[in-house]
Structure 1
């Protein structure tokens, strides 16, 4: 029985995402990627229209994983706890890798480079909706959840970008300050 091309494409997309999470997107080359996946660059191009289609797929799979990880966080006791849990999750494991890949793609998209610009916009919309739901579950008022999610996301991405340059205790204090400010704002 022949293999279903869509299931092979899905498997390759998952494996290529794992590769990109480990190696990044800048300088991604089809031949080394294909060799790592046990296939050829021609077979990758059979399953993906071109390298841009593959990169867009990697970004979507990574974002799906990020949203799933966010949605899997336990319900926080309150908004401050929700912010702390988010920061903790963003600094470890798969979610940390996905966020680094997002930041890399966002930087490339900032200059209008495709497929990064359009896929990052799409990914950001889904992530922000999930983040707003996470904050609502932690007690954020629904009418404020989108603005609060934007604030929290801006601080978190800024901290992640500064992570190699900042001390962990400084970042922890910033997260605590954010959590306290959001709790006080109600």
Structure 2
């Protein structure tokens, strides 16, 4: 691992703990035991550093999804993905994704570009899990999009909802998709 890669991983850990909004190079550099100038030297700009952090975060989430065991059914896959999505590393990565997506909505770079790339990688990982869980390859990308959109909506509303309500929304989605899959067979 080269110095840039080491800094990317450490900066990703920092951003996952402190968030992206208001990220400042000096406190980040101090935490990493370097200077803001050295960060610019290794990344070229703050935007390039943020893009690297977002990519590393996404890669971490993707690795967790790829490591999941296949689920017994589409319904089980939705519930398994939600459990993974809302725990530990993936939950922190998803929260950072939401921050970046919000900034990207305003056209801020590197967020807009990074989020587009992140979405493609994330959706492919989810679709792969669905396929491994018995979903037809032709249906997996579309269903991954539906599941991801629901999860993100619940994540955005979650501070306003209680855990039971969030879980019920996901249960309802899982049940509906499970029924639709059985109906199409």
In structure 1, C-alpha distance between the alignment counterparts of 2:57 and 2:144, rounded to whole Å: 20
Aligned residues: 181
Q: What stretches of structure 1 of length at least 5 have no aligned partner? A: 1-5
Tell me which residue corresponds to 2:73. 78
The CA distance in 2 between the partners of 1:96 and 1:184, in whole Å, is: 28
The equivalent of 1:162 in structure 2 is: 157
- Per the alignment, residue 172 of structure 1 pairs with 167
DSSP-derived class of the 1:143 partner? coil
Report 1:117-136 matches (<5 A). Answer: 117-136=112-131
TM-score normalised by L of structure 1: 0.95
After TM superposition, give the deviation of residue 107 of structure 1 in Å. 0.7
Partner of 1:3: none
Q: What is aligned with 2:93? A: 98
Q: 1:31: which partner in 2?
A: 26
3-state SS of paired residue (1:76): coil
For the residue of structure 2 that corresponds to 1:142, the secondary structure is coil
Q: Which runs of 4+ in 1 moved over 4 A?
A: none
Deviation at 1:22, TM superposition (A): 0.4
Q: TM-score normalized by structure 2?
A: 0.95
- Aligned counterpart for 1:143 among listed residues 131, 138, 143: 138
Consecutive unaligned residues of structure 2, counting only runs of 5 or more, are none
